[in-house]
Amino acid sequence: MNFKAIYWGIIGISFGLFGCVFILLSVNLALRADDNTHRVIEAYQGFQDGKCKSCHPAIWREWESSMHAKAWVDEIYQAAAKQITDRETKCDQCHAPQPILMTGIGKMPKLRDTQREAGVSCLVCHLDAHGAMNGPAASAETYFHTNVTNPIYTEPTALCGTCHGQQSVPEHDQVSSFLNSKFAEGDTSCATCHMPVVTRLQSTTSHEAIKGRKHTWRGSRSVAQLKRAAILQLGYADGKVDVKLRSQTGHILPGGTLRTIVLEVTRRAPDGTERQKQHISISAKNENRLLPNENRAYAFDMASATTGDTIKARLIYQLTPDTPEPKRILMAEKTLMIP
């Protein structure tokens, strides 16, 4: 009996079987990859066709009124970005990013090639590489896409930090100061202030309203949010006006490098005539922004003030250096009369 021939025959059969298994596995993996790619493409097409809107009308209405939805088309952004060299690697990728669950939470996002006008869309924060939509445990069932319960949405600061925590992009780095504050030590996250809890139907397949986070991301364009951002106290003694300013935000204030807060103090005579005006600008340019929950005191010389004069302190917000006075936002004000 030729054992050598039998041995090599067995080896040949083994390699043949291994080759078949390898081919089958390769084909299976390729089919899975193709299937995942198809699902991702289908998700983009579904967004384009309005399926997100038709299935999640309440959440869609919130999103479409937000600055996330306008992140790319906003005129102020486009005007600013045009002045930046190599904007596609310094600005645009956070204003029209690829899904961050695919490019990596915390990593610099990548600029997408399609649907840029949708800004930071549903897909940016929820779509994964398998074509599934990720969300909190309360996500409603749907017939269009697969749902994945992802714990990142319970404490979403890391998710938000993908765009708002890049130290190389100071204009949008609010998360770094938040993480160094006392707010980060508790249960507070970015969502606490910027995505308040609301009760509503999650989708058209929901049977009852449940609690969820509002998809409006109130920020520097919200008058209500700005009025909650700081507190003023005003006092007068021995010819000096003392103004105490306290930040109530969980991050540096103002949050963007183009934003400016002006602390203005005026003195008026009893007949209303303006006698004196002083102001201090608080901005990244002046390197004097307030830290989270910081208390700060300012003293203004008003030695010429007399009985009956009125002192008024105002905190005024400028979205950009070019914001005209009528469009500046009054955050807080205090008035006192000198006895």
pTM of the model: 0.85
Residue type, 244: K
Q: Which band of pLDDT confidence, cut at 50, 70 and 90, is reported for residue 187?
A: confident
Q: What are the C-alpha distances in Å from 232 to residues 134, 210, 258?
A: 42, 37, 23
Quote the mean pLDDT of the chain.
Answer: 90
Phi, psi dihedrals of residue 226, rounded to the nearest 5°: -65, -35
pLDDT of residue 33: 55
pLDDT tens digits, residue range 208-261? Answer: 999 999 999 999 999 999 999 999 999 999 999 999 999 999 999 999 999 999
pLDDT higher for 337 or 139? 337
pLDDT higher than threshold 80 for residue 8: no
Q: Residue 4's pLDDT band (boundaries 50, 70, 90)?
A: low
User: Which of 10-14, 161-165, 201-205 shows the lowest mean pLDDT across its residues?
Assistant: 10-14
Report the chain's terminal Cα–Cα distance, integer Å: 122
Render the burial of 71-95: b for 16+ CB within 10 Å, e for the rest.
Answer: bbebeebeeebeeeeebeebbbbbb
The per-residue pLDDT for 88 is: 92
| Of residues 261 and 207, more confidently modeled | 261
Q: ω before 254 within 30° of 0 (cis)?
A: yes
Q: What are the C-alpha distances in Å from 25 to residues 17, 22, 179, 194, 302?
A: 12, 5, 45, 46, 82
- Does residue 32 have a pLDDT over 80? no
pLDDT at residue 17, as a whole number? 47
CA–CA gap between residue 72 and residue 60 (Å, rounded): 17
Contacts of residue 272, Cβ cutoff 8 Å, sequence gap at least 6: none
CA 223 to chain centre: 17
Residue with structure tokens 């009985």?
A: 307
Band (pLDDT 50/70/90 cuts) for residue 121 is: very high
Q: What is the pLDDT of residue 137?
A: 85
> Range with the lowest mean pLDDT among 134-143, 158-167, 168-177?
134-143
Bridge-based pairing of strands 197-200 and 210-213 is antiparallel
For 9, the token pair is 């025959």
What residues contact residue 282 under an 8 Å CB cut-off, 6+ apart?
253, 254, 260, 261, 262, 263, 288, 289, 290
Average pLDDT over residues 118-133: 97
pLDDT band at 143 (very low <50, low <70, confident <90, very high): confident
What pLDDT is stored for residue 133 in this prediction? 95
Lowest mean pLDDT among 57-71, 105-119, 137-151: 137-151
Q: Is the pLDDT of residue 280 over 80?
A: yes
**pLDDT tens-digit profile of 70-111?**
999 999 999 999 999 899 988 999 999 999 999 999 999 999
Instruction: Provide mean pLDDT across the span 167-186.
Output: 92
